Amino acid sequence: MSANGPPAGSNEFWLFGYGSLIWKPPPHFDRRIEGWVTDYVRRFWQVCVSHSEDHRGTPEAPGRVVTLIERSFWEQLTDHHGSAPHKVWGVAYLIRPDKVDEVKEYLDIREINGYTIHYTLFHPAASVDPALLPRSGPIKALAYIGTPDNEQFVGPQDPQRLAEHIYHSRGPSGLNREYLWELEKALEELSPESGDEHVTDLSNRVRAVAAQDGENGSKSSQTPVNVDTSAEQPIHHDFRQIKSIDEQEETEKTS
Ligand code: BEZ
């Protein structure tokens, strides 16, 4: 099966999430399946612009969010994080058939900032109940990817400078470091093998910067003490199904 187009002869719409979609599901999903894709590398190399869903910075100091880099392209680059797991873990959502058009429209608005649509083969984790799967074998899924030719793509970053940048970025969606730590936690929860050293190393560096800055950067608290946290919630991932896009947008405004 090729991954270059939408699934032939199938109305199923599966969406692969490797970033905030892991802990912030789209509306109208029927199933959420843990698993992985190959041939990509996850990196914090995408600028989040102010009108994007994950606007964790300001126009003057935009934060950083993840994108997927094609592994064959990444192998030609000099990356301070010189290795990357063979499997990029995330989740695939099956969208209700009667809501596919609505969700696609919603996602286009939500994610378009530099990201483009790609189809990839998603491999469900071995632990997934086969009754939840349409068939055995990989599933064709849509992923939003910020490719190197998009304006928000920044390319290889020095990890310490990137960590400091993330530490200092904050926007209407919250602290950039919370996005990073949410991702680290969400990945740890997917499977015993789903950690991503790029994400873990950045998380540790940001905790160290926070500690140096006098903030409580410990992994257990994960909430900086010197910022106004009145609008922030502790990290807790539940995956209740959002019934409407209006409800989803309300949830996002308050999360
Ligand atoms: C993701 O979670 O997969 C994702 C979220 C926002 C933009 C692109 C990808």
pLDDT tens digits, one per residue of 24-62: 999 999 999 999 999 999 999 999 865 444 545 555 567
CA 49 to the chain's CA centroid: 15
Is 111 known to be catalytic? yes
Whether 21 lines ligand 1, by a CB cut-off of 6 Å, is: yes
Q: Whose CA is nearest to atom 7 of ligand 1?
A: 111
Q: Whose CA is nearest to atom 4 of ligand 1?
A: 19
Summarize the confidence of residues 151-171 as an average pLDDT: 93
pLDDT tens digits, one per residue of 89-127: 999 999 999 999 998 888 776 656 788 889 999 999 999
pLDDT tens digits, one per residue of 173-213: 789 999 999 999 999 999 999 999 999 999 999 999 999 98
Whether 103 lines ligand 1, by a CB cut-off of 6 Å, is: no
Query: Which ligand 1 atom is at minimum distance from the Cα of 21?
Result: 2
CB 19 within 8 A of CB 143: no
Q: Whose CA is nearest to atom 3 of ligand 1?
A: 17
Whether 182 lines ligand 1, by a CB cut-off of 6 Å, is: no
pLDDT above 50 (res 225): no
The answer to whether the Cα torsion of 94, 99, 105, 109 is positive or negative is negative
Pick among 3.90.380.10, 3.10.490.10, 3.40.640.10, 3.60.90.10: CATH of 14-215: 3.10.490.10
C-beta neighbour count of 58 within 10 angstroms: 13
Angle at alpha carbon of residue 178, lines to 206 and 28, rounded to 5°: 145
Domain spans in the chain, listed from the N-terminal domain onward: 14-215
Q: How many Cα atoms sit within 13 Å of 83 on the Cβ side? A: 6
What is the structure's pLDDT at 121? Answer: 98
For the question of whether the overall pTM of this predicted structure is more than 0.85, the answer is no
**What whole-number distance in Å separates Cα of residue 33 and Cα of residue 23?**
12
